[in-house]
Structure 1
Amino acid sequence: MRAAVLYSAAGSLLLTTLAAAPADGAPGVPQAARLRGVEVAATRARASGIDFGTCPADQKAPDGLQCGTVTVPLDYAHPDGRQIRLTVSRVRATHKDPRNSKRKVPRQGALVFNPGGPGGSGMYFPLVGLLPEWKRIAAAYDLVGYAPRGVGRSAPLSCQDPKQFAGGPTQAPTHPSTAYKKKRIAQAKTYARGCAQRSGSALRYYNSLNNARDLDVLRAALGEDRLTFMGASYGTYFGAVYATLFPSHVRRMVLDSAVNPAPEQVWYRDNLDQSAAFEGRWADFRDWVARHDDVYGLGDTAEKVRRGYETARARLAARPAGGKVGPGQLQAAFLSAAYYDDYWPSRAEALSAYLKGDPGPLLRVAAPSPETAAEAENTSAVYTAVECNDAPWPTDWAVWDRDNTRLARRAPFETWENVWMNLPCAYWPAPRQRPVDVRTGPGELPPTLILAAERDAAAPYDGALEMHRRLADSVLVTERDAGTHGIAGGANPCVNAHLEAYLLQGRLPVRHASCAPHPEPRPGAPRKQALRDHLKGKADRT
């Protein structure tokens, strides 16, 4: 049963118990003032452009990747007030047709990409042009990535000391006790206070509306009259917000793994739906492991595989592997397998080896990395700020407890960990805005391509259907019976053919289209998707 049906009552209660705060920033400021602020900032950005040059040394960028910055107002109601700089990266169009070396491909402009999160950085995205699946697109477009406000060097956000954020081992009970819940409530309150203390009054301006406005300033800075944009996951949401605010500024738009943009879904109910969907994807993984019992020895049924996982959880709770990996780290490692099925072999191998007495593979895939702690803390801070600022959230713990206790009975795998990730929003110190009513009428927006995998858990398929209904003249391409999160330029040639036809020729299917699923991973196969996901800045959240 779909979670949207299960939790309609909870959504209704939410809307009646928490009034929406004034939209994005100071109360009493009309949206027209912010639109004028965008016009002012965009005019300045077009005049100054982006001075692309060598990337900072600590980014370890390869030759060919150029970096620069674009300046945007912190608050678009005051375009002459405090300014922040967003980092931008680019690889110029190659003009080389990979299918015909004698043909010079004409440039079609810049293709701007956002990987989602919130909190993901697209700074390495332009390097996808080195991959075979992207070479035709890279021939025609300058590939442009950027770090949205708050991310990386772009006026970075932080809510706590990264050393505290990345600590382990941690617990992850699927049916937490009252005492454990009280502990996590206290942590959520502390985290929310930390966000406010470290950012002050600026915190309220990190939201999806400003991400969409920043995108228009970036368009102007690139010298583009109309934007060609690809957003993945959360990037589909603020891409759709952009399309709602600036439909005439859109040239082409790809929304890959679309989230549900309905105002009543953003973001509390979207997270409930996500937790429910992860249970199905967790089952897909266990079914696959059971079919390869001859390789992993974890059992020939999904239930036997689950019992092996629970055995590992209990052992790690009593004695963390290497003093670093407890049940929390185990759950996080296996959650990534619910995002991307090419993680399946490494996770199955790690579980099998650990149960047989070898913790090495599990430590490799699950141990916290001090080297990436600062980046992970920054990603979490941006994720929290944007989601908390974007919409009303229930402020009564009893609502969270009731809804998620009920959900965890049928979907225990991710439910409570998702709660702890989002619970700071119950105690958020900044004003929450009313979610944008994402919507365009016939002829207002150029035809848009929406891509979705039918069993995607991070962005459940109902979200793509809702996005399709709200954006007139959009076309939905579905990868059937598959669940990888983010399918553009990936392992499915059928999906990639639709992507290329749209970006290179402006051609879309006449109506809803579908593709057969890409092949399942083979046991022991290396993770070929790893480079692609790194370049696209995949963030394992929304």
Structure 2
Amino acid sequence: MRLRGLIVLMALCAALGAPNAAPAARTLFAPCGANGLQCATVNVPLDRSGATPGTVSLHVEELPAPGIPRGVLFLIAGGPGQASAGAFTLGANALDLRSEYPGYTLIAFDPRGTGRSGLLRCPELQADPFAALTRVQALVAKCGTEIGASRDFYSTRDHADDIDAVRRALGVDKIALEGTSYGTQLSVAYALTYPSHVERLILDSVADPAGRDPFALDDLQQMPKGLASLCSGGLCRAATSNFVGELVKLANRMAAHPVAGKVAKQSGGTRTVRATGFDFLGGAVLDSDLNAGLAAELPAAVHAALRGRTRPLLRLVQLDRQTAITSAEDLSMGLFTATVCDDGPFPWAPETPLGQRPGLLAGARSALPKGSTGPFGIWATDLGPAPFCLRWPPQARRPGIGSGPLPNVPVLVFAGERDLRTPATNAAAIAARFPQGRLVTVPGVGHSVLGTDFTGCAQTAVSIWLSGGVPPSRCPRSPMLVNPIGAFPASFATLKPGRTGGVRGRTLAAVAKTVREAAASWAFSLTGFTQVQAIAGLYGGTIRASGTSFVLKGYSTVAGVRISGSLRLYRPEARSPLPARFVGSVRVDGTKAAHGRLAVGASTLSGRLGGRRVHGPA
């Protein structure tokens, strides 16, 4: 089962927290890093009812505002399972953070069960997120056993109560909160539970705080709109004229008939990769709203797969799997599971015996009205949390966080039009629910707007808003890190030779396609959940990325043509370097190619192939 389909799709019901308490004396902080960073430990009860003994030590980091602070702002990471202190690294990023949040003292703490706050570990689940559903359900059950009785105390309610415990430890009455993805759900849960202690909210990539059905129906219905945004303005026309239609057709076909085939390995040779419709939709498709390389290659790979050439698609599936396995320190699958499976809601009550749940799950699924899953088949309901949590150990029913009213405070909400995990409709709905809600829509951006908007408009909007100004309601379209690539050729022989003609002309065309695809692989290596230095080419060889450059060794996108060399990011003086283009030089060889050397310019290729000078578009 594909777990990233859940990690930031969660918008689940939370629970009521502990009663409000008056500000306490400030906890003692001590210097712990660069740029004035201070750290402290705040001890909180494991179980606030007192029935289960134990405490959790929360690791808290503070970046004081220069001068007299305007307020205190908590930065809440996503997941659940991400450690906020580790994610935001306040000390290292102090200059940028102080500019983006002028006048605010910034707080980032690792939620219970993450990072340095009693990290929960479920090693097998952490290491095997791509197993078949039945295997993952068994690992979820084992994870619950490994955590033990404390597993009942990692709900969104518990996390909201911990935020208030840190607030009291700081000795402040009101706090601002910025949440991303699941962090938006937690921020709103805090606002519902402790409304009198909220100064303002910044919500980026909004998970529906009203709760999400167990089968991810809204996400499935909204997904085509987000996918269509990738290709707006004709960006995909070199690959396909109907990206969304082709993707839906392919996903449903793969659900009925999984595909398998060979992909190249970094070490040489090939491996067999198998993918179902759920592997595809819950993995490579969903991750394309964050991974720029996936977004660039997906339209062409889908188009090829529908015509029987599945190798490009299976390569993306395998690369996505490779870059999506994280360490527990980066994202604890133990905490993710404990929170998701505690929060619900599911077609069963929390205390329902395991033996009764499959029937309840099947009954709820069969009762779904026609069209509930958008253009996808009923198989796609496995993207929701219910199948994942089917075998989570039963636990006592706990009160949930109420549905409002929400506090009348300033709220700034960001929506990326390409967001597939937390659809832009969520952001519009939550902005409308707050009397002082403001929505900023960012075209060209997927999930995590503030981290992926290359125009800087979203980040500037935060600074303007915090300083009392009026932010824009819509940003300019953010350029992609790399543009979608053109169609994968069926073979070397099908390439158009252009003016050069013959084998040399086809080789020139193959090199141009390979350089553009290599740029997408460079983006893939930098924007996956886990960064990787080396990636295998479609037909062998490797690309090794390093910052704004990469090295190719026998890299092949067209069978029979290999290129080797170093390329660096082209930086025009008069405009943005995005979408990225690369310049340098390459050596060309291979069983089909005219051998030689080429200079790679921003828009041209030139050099010698087969002993003759050649020139053509890059």
Give the TM-score, by structure 2 length: 0.61
Specify the alignment match of 2:204 in structure 1: 256
Superposition CA RMSD, Å: 4.5
2:449 aligns to what? 487
SS at match of 1:488: helix
Q: Of 456, 473, 479, which aligns to 1:519?
A: 479
Determine which of 42, 48, 61 is the counterpart of 1:76. Answer: 48
Q: For the structure 1 residues 119 and 126, does the alpha-carbon distance in structure 2 shift closer, same or farther, using more than 3 Å as the test?
A: same
Q: Counterpart of 1:456?
A: 419
| Distance change >3 Å, CA 480–CA 488, structure 1 → 2 | closer
Alignment partner for residue 284 of structure 2, among 329, 333, 336?
333
**1:387 matched residue in structure 2:** 340
Report deviation, 1:84: 0.3
Matched with 1:275 is 220
Q: 1:397-436 to 2 correspondence within 5 Å?
A: 397-402=361-366, 403=368, 407-408=372-373, 410-411=375-376, 415-419=380-384, 422-425=387-390, 428-436=393-401
Q: Pairwise mapping of residues 313-392 of structure 1 onto structure 2 (< 5 A)?
A: 317-319=260-262, 322=265, 323=271, 325-327=273-275, 331=281, 332-339=283-290, 343-345=294-296, 362=316, 365-368=319-322, 372-375=326-329, 379-392=332-345
Q: What's the counterpart of residue 183 of structure 2? A: 235
* Alignment-mate amino acid for residue 201 of structure 2: M
Distance 1:520 1:164 in 2: 31
Aligned equivalents of 1:362, 1:289: Cα separation in 2: 24
Give the Å deviation of 1:534.
8.8
How many Å apart are 1:273 and its aligned residue?
Answer: 1.0
Q: Distance in 1 between matches of 2:300 and 2:332?
A: 28
Quick check: 1:440–1:470 contact (8 Å CA) kept in 2?
no
Quick one: structure 1 residues 406 and 130, their matched pair in 2 at CA, closer, same or farther if it must change by over 3 Å? same
Task: Kindly indicate whether the alpha-carbon contact (under 8 Å) linking 2:98 and 2:104 is maintained by their aligned counterparts in 1.
Answer: no
**Matched position secondary structure for 1:513:** coil
* Structure 2 gap ranges (5+): 1-12, 266-270, 349-359, 484-518, 532-618
User: What secondary structure does 1:112 align onto?
Assistant: strand
Which whole-Å CA distance do the structure 1 matches of 2:108 and 2:523 have between them?
24
Please list, as runs of the form range in 1=range in 2, the aligned pairs for 1:142-221 lying within 5 A after superposition.
Answer: 142-159=105-122, 161-162=124-125, 165-166=128-129, 184=133, 186-187=134-135, 189-221=137-169
Q: 1:392-437 deviations in whole A, cap 9, x for unaligned?
A: 3103122443239954571359924514775315755123445422
Query: Does the alignment pair 1:499 with 2:499?
Result: no
Question: Structure 1 residues 468 and 312, CA, compared in 2 at 3 Å: closer, same or farther?
Answer: closer
Contact 1:125/1:144, CA 8 A, preserved across alignment: no
Whose strand proportion is higher, 1 or 2? Answer: 2
Q: Is the 8 A contact 1:321 1:363 kept in 2?
A: no
Establish whether residue 49 from structure 1 lines up as the match of residue 14 from structure 2: no
1:12-41 Cα offsets, whole Å, 9 max, x none, are: xxxxxxxx9xx96xxxxxx79x316xx39x
Q: 1:301 to 1:368 in 2, by over 3 A?
A: same
Q: After superposition, give the CA deviation of every residue in 1:311-336 in whole Å (9 maximum; x if it has no partner).
A: 99978525566447532665523321
Q: Is the 8 A contact 2:417 2:424 kept in 1?
A: yes
Partner of residue 74, structure 2: 112
Aligned twin of 1:35? 19
More displaced 10-residue stretch of structure 1: 382-391 or 187-196: 187-196
Q: Within the alignment, does 1:86 sit opposite 2:58 as a pair?
A: yes
Greater share of helix residues, 1 or 2? 1
SS at 1:491 equivalent: coil
Give distance in 2, aligned partners of 1:432 and 1:308. Answer: 41
Indicate conservation of the 8 Å contact 1:233/1:257, yes or no: yes
1:125 deviation in Å? 0.8
Asked whether the 8 Å contact 1:232–1:255 carries over to 2, the reply is yes
Q: Quick one: higher RCO (CA 8 Å, sep 6+), 1 or 2?
A: 1
CA change 1:488–1:352 in 2 (3 A) is same
Is the 1:240–1:438 Cα contact (8 Å) retained in structure 2? Answer: no
Distance 1:272 1:399, change over 3 A: farther
* SS of residue paired to 2:196: helix
Contact 1:488–1:499 (Cα < 8 Å) also in 2: no
Q: Secondary structure at the match of 2:47?
A: coil
1:217 shift after superposition: 1.4
Does the 8 A contact of 2:324 with 2:530 survive in 1? no
Counterpart-to-counterpart distance in 1, 2:105 and 2:293: 29
Q: Quote the residue 1:136 is aligned against.
A: 99
Helix, strand or coil at the partner of 1:89: strand
| Inter-partner Cα distance in structure 2 for 1:516 and 1:74 | 46
Instruction: Report how many aligned residue pairs link the two structures.
Output: 456
Corresponding letter in the other structure for 1:366: D
Q: Distance between the aligned counterparts of 1:432 and 1:343, measured in 2?
A: 41
Q: Is the 8 A contact 2:35 2:91 kept in 1?
A: no
Query: For residues 413 and 375 of structure 1, do their structure 2 counterparts lie closer, same or farther at Cα, with a shift above 3 Å needed?
Result: farther
How much has 1:337 moved relative to structure 2? 0.7
Structure 2 partner of 1:439: 404
Per-residue displacement from partner, 1:202-244 (whole Å, max 9, x unpaired)? 2121111111111111123334332121011221122112112
Partner amino acid for 2:478?
H
Conserved in 2, the CA contact under 8 Å of 1:260 and 1:270?
no
DSSP-derived class of the 2:82 partner: coil
> 1:383 aligns to what SS in structure 2?
helix
Structure 1's unaligned 5+ residue stretches are 1-19, 25-30, 55-61, 96-104, 172-183, 536-542
| Matched-pair identity in % | 22
